[in-house]
Amino acid sequence: MMGKREKGDGKMISYSNLLYFLELSDTLSFTKAARKLLISQQALSGTISAMEKELGVVLFQRTTPLQPTYAGRVLQKYAMQIRTIHTQMLQEMDDIRSEKSGEITVGISHTRGKNLLPHVLPLFQEAYPGIKVHLFEGNNDELAAAFSQGLIDLMIAQTPFSVRGAETVPLCREEVLLAVSDELLVQQFGGEKERVLERLSRSGHLSVLRDCPFLLNKPGNSLRTISEQIFAAEGFHPRTAIETENIETLYELCKVGAGCLFYPRMFLAGKPEYGREESLHFIPLSYEFARFTVGIGYREDAYFSGPMEKLIGIAAELFSPDRKGGGD
């Protein structure tokens, strides 16, 4: 009988030895198993004996044919599981190497994702059906922090990125507009509404609105940063009526006259109010910093996979200024 073995006092059994054991379990013959394994019978016998010594149990009764012991049957169960997992691991590594499977995490703001990703991701999934895409949605500061920490593979945001070590590809130009409703203009200016609207449209300056309420994103959002630049250039502090992270909530409030709003032209796609003679007006601003480039970027020190390159290529082609319907 084998001596008592202290827990954890031996070496780990190698994967190749488990394969030898499984072959012997199948054939129940040292001669047949050794022939299939292309090793000597003596070498196989020595391997099994070493395993028994290592585990502190007898794996086979040395009869003809061999008979697995209870310990042998238990080891066979686990060895088969290990062999299956090992095979699956190799297959997945091969799939990753051949880019048939894997994961990509894309960082983007909530609203920009709604406008851009439905165009990009279906084409990417068609090219790489086995690649799972995770979305990290947040404001500009949250995206930058996650990008710096390596939690995001690709980031779509206003360029230049506020993080070091980023390589970026430009996607499209964006313009921030002033949105203001007829209802608010009447509340604030009464019969002077048309004159004020004409002045705003002609100059692109907001000094006439210094006493009006404004609807603002919370700090950390790129729109909030641009808003603060505008107020600084205009030389007044806004009367903030409502502040929230959700730009679409602010948009709906703007429609009913709750305040003036800075809103990206890109986000207007498909909105029935835009381009019609209705109560909401969209006014271009005079400031160059209200027009910027949206880009997609990756960390230059990170692994750059084929699927990442493909996703960037799809986005760049879709939104290139040279492509009809791209750009603004």
* CATH code of residue 141: 3.40.190.10
Instruction: Give the pLDDT confidence of 286-324 residue by residue, as tens digits.
Output: 999 999 999 999 988 887 888 999 999 999 999 876 544
Instruction: Report which residue type is found at 178.
Output: L
- Position with higher pLDDT, 320 vs 199: 199
Rg (CA), the chain: 33
Average pLDDT, stretch 194-210?
94
Going from the C-alpha of 200 to that of each of 98, 206, 252, 284, the distances in angstroms are 57, 7, 21, 9
* Proportion of the chain above pLDDT 70, given as a percent: 92
Based on the domain organization, do 235 and 276 belong to the same domain? yes
10 Å Cβ neighbour count for 233? Answer: 15
pLDDT at 308: 92
Based on the domain organization, do 190 and 49 belong to the same domain? no
Q: Is residue 325 assigned to a domain?
A: no
Domain that holds residue 163: 103-173+292-319
Based on the domain organization, do 297 and 271 belong to the same domain? no
**pLDDT tier at 1, thresholds 50, 70, 90:** very low
Q: Is the pLDDT of residue 326 over 60?
A: no
Q: Which two tokens stand for residue 293?
A: 């480039």
Q: Which two tokens stand for residue 30?
A: 């040292």
What does the angle CA 32 – CA 38 – CA 39 come to, to the nearest 5 degrees? 90
Closest CA to 302 of 132, 161, 166: 166
Total domains, the chain: 3
Based on the domain organization, do 166 and 224 belong to the same domain? no
pLDDT at 264: 94
Q: Is the pLDDT of residue 8 over 60?
A: no
In angstroms, the CA 268 to CA 265 distance is 5
Instruction: Give the pLDDT confidence of 245-268 residue by residue, as tens digits.
Output: 999 999 999 999 999 999 999 898
User: 129, 283 in Cβ contact below 8 A?
Assistant: no
Q: Is residue 324 assigned to a domain?
A: no
pLDDT at 325: 39
Based on the domain organization, do 180 and 273 belong to the same domain? yes
